[in-house]
Structure 1
Amino acid sequence: MPEISLFFGIRITIYYNDYNPPHIHAEYAGQKALIDIQNASVLKGFLPGRQLKIVLAWCVLYQDELMQNWELVKEGKEPNPVPPMRKE
């Protein structure tokens, strides 16, 4: 499960040979959620409200890169790092 990004204490990973729909795994303070890449929505699990909003916004910003990574891991290749969310 390669880590593709880390920001504000939120760890984002993507798994090889994972199932559809395309999704990422987000973890914060022991809480975990599966996030649908295409819909920027929670498939399963829980993150605190503020962290969930950050992850969903990040997912929308980097949807193309996340989908490219999904295709890479489906082919057994290493995913690319995705830039972290930054404070503005």
Structure 2
Amino acid sequence: MPTISMFYGIIIRMYCAPKEHAPAHFHAYYQDFKAVVDIESCELIEGNLPKKQLKLVLAWAELRQEELRADWKLAMESELPFKIDPLK
């Protein structure tokens, strides 16, 4: 699962596999925490992160939603997604 962005100790990854389960999503990791975030709604759909890191991830997702959609499309075609700028 390639890393598509990293910021403030948070790692964002996306699986590159056709038939990856819907909805379109990405995985966020922070220390021992793991979360899955829906790209369309920019909401947590699985797992958990500390409150501060979750807010950062959701804000980043809203700002980068179009890029995330494009990366999801690539990933569903078994292509590597592009890197996405971190939250600054």
Structure with greater contact order relative to length (CA < 8 Å, sep ≥ 6): 2
Deviations 1:29-83 (A, max 9, x none): 1100000011010110000000000000000000000000000010011100000
2:14 alignment partner in structure 1: 14
Q: Distance in 2 between matches of 1:6 and 1:19?
A: 23
Q: Give the aligned CA root-mean-square deviation in angstroms.
A: 0.5
Return the match for 1:35 from 37, 42, 65. 37
Segments of 5+ residues of structure 1 without an aligned counterpart are none
Relative to the length of structure 2, the TM-score reads 0.96
Q: Which amino acid aligns with 1:50?
A: K
Q: Which runs of 4+ in 1 moved over 2 A?
A: none
Offset of residue 16 of structure 1: 1.8
Contact 2:38 2:44 in 1 (8 A): yes
Q: Identity, % of aligned pairs?
A: 43
Q: Which consecutive residues of structure 2, in runs of 5 or more, have no partner in the other structure?
A: none
Residues 58-77 of structure 1: pairs in structure 2 closer than 5 A: 58-77=60-79
Distance 1:62 1:71 in 2: 14
The alignment's TM-score, normalised by the length of structure 1, stands at 0.96
